[in-house]
Amino acid sequence: MTSSLHQPIHTVYGGAHLFKSTTCSKLGTLAERAFADYAPDAKTMARVFAIPENLAETVHARVAEKLRREPVEDFRIDFEDGFGYRPDDEEDSAADNAAQEVTAAVQAGSLPGLFGIRVKSFLPETKTRALRTLDRFLSHATLPLNFVVTLPKITAPRQVAELTDALRSYPKVRIEIMIETPQSIFLLKELIEAAEGRCVAAHFGAYDYTASLGITAANQDLHHPACDFARSMMLVSLASTGVWLVDGATNILPIPPRRGLEEDRSVVHRAWKLHYDNIRHSLYNGFYQGWDLHPAQIPARLVAVHTYFLEGLEEASARLRNFMDKAAQATRVGAIFDDAATGRGLLTYFERAFHCGAIPESDVPGLTGMSVEELSWPFDRILAARTGS
């Protein structure tokens, strides 16, 4: 289900009661304004995020460009935590209104490349409500390409199977599963199988997960060892499945208290640095996508992702070019030995760096010795092209 897509760097969530056809474009404007207000130049940005000075100008320029061009890559209309529990008539109205607004956005071409809704869980107490919202929305909306339904708080494969059944009349709609319960950690392959090829991503819900383990609110953190264990289980269980791994949210938002400009900056900068550190931890653990809950979080994500890819660019470029020059032979650059497995990793690095905007298209051939199109080829095809086999 993912072959025609590239993984976005984030999913932005917004309450269903707030969604309008212009929401995604307005979020982009707010994100761009936050970057201009609180990181107006490379020096300020480097100080806030502790970025090396030799990278700061490039990162700042490319983040600003990304904010102008594509600030929101993926968005979910949220009927779960971001919407809450409301009377049925109120949720019915929200579902109908969201369908109308999505239809208007599709007609205006104002939605990001990936888009969808999150319904309530299929646990007994909310399943009927979730199915009712899903049916009302799908029955009235003109769906965009790459539309996704996200299912939260999964405890058993039958819940994913029930969602799959509910989508029989919509064969192009994808499914995302949320890993938020101890049960789901040990059922990952069964959950994917229950989606019958529709599952595009598995999202880790860190706060529900840690709460279900009895970890107190003060210690519910993306860096908690319990979260690292869950992410490792997701990595191992879903390797080579093509299912994207998505990390959770930073719940401290960069919202200034409006008590004075300098204090505003301090509050935003601390929240940005926390979000930045969480994202770098996610990237280190092989989770290249995560949640943003507020438009002012988007600049911090872009800074984190761009810095991550740019700081290792020179070495990765030398290693990839050397590897491709020798085709399928093992290679060594300096003290680093590269074989075919590492070659795949280097290709993934450059493909992700290009798609997120850290590397402009014009730089790809010089850095990799390859075209942008080749970056998306299967590894064996690239090697075959190099060796003539």
Do 100 and 236 have their domain in common? yes
Decide which of 32 and 259 is more confident.
32
CB 289 within 8 A of CB 201: yes
Q: What is the mean pLDDT of residues 265-286?
A: 96
Do 344 and 255 have their domain in common? no
pLDDT digits (tens, 9 = 90+) for 74-95: 999 999 999 999 999 999 999 9
For residue 343, pLDDT over 80 is answered with no
User: Which range among 48-62, 179-193, 355-369 shows the weakest confidence by mean pLDDT?
Assistant: 355-369
Tell whether 325 is covered by a domain.
yes
CA distance readout (Å), 189 to 109, 165, 168, 343: 36, 18, 21, 27
In angstroms and rounded to an integer, the radius of gyration of the C-alpha atoms of the chain is: 21
- Domain hosting 106: range is 10-311
Number of domains in the chain: 2
CATH of the domain at 153: 3.20.20.360
Do 217 and 319 have their domain in common? no
Do 186 and 163 have their domain in common? yes
CB 183 within 8 A of CB 155: yes
| pTM of the complete model beyond 0.85 | yes
Tell whether 4 is covered by a domain.
no
Do 275 and 332 have their domain in common? no
Do 50 and 172 have their domain in common? yes
For residue 304, pLDDT over 90 is answered with yes
Tell whether 1 is covered by a domain.
no
pLDDT digits (tens, 9 = 90+) for 125-173: 999 999 999 999 999 999 999 999 999 999 999 999 999 999 999 999 9
Paired tokens of 166: 């509910």
Do 273 and 320 have their domain in common? no
Which band of pLDDT confidence, cut at 50, 70 and 90, is reported for residue 335? low
| pLDDT for the residue 2 | 42
Do 339 and 272 have their domain in common? no
- Quick check: helix, strand or coil at residue 384? helix
Boundary of a domain, candidates 311, 331, 357: 311
Paired tokens of 97: 């209104």
Tell whether 18 is covered by a domain.
yes
Paired tokens of 159: 């819940």
Do 212 and 344 have their domain in common? no
Boundary of a domain, candidates 260, 285, 311: 311
Do 248 and 327 have their domain in common? no
Do 251 and 374 have their domain in common? no
Residue 255, amino acid: I
Boundary of a domain, candidates 285, 311, 337: 311
Q: How far is CA 316 from the centre of its chain?
A: 23
CB 147 within 8 A of CB 172: yes
* Number of residues that make up the chain: 389
CA dist 17 and 91 (Å) reads 8
Do 100 and 209 have their domain in common? yes
State the pairing for strand pair 74-78/114-118: parallel
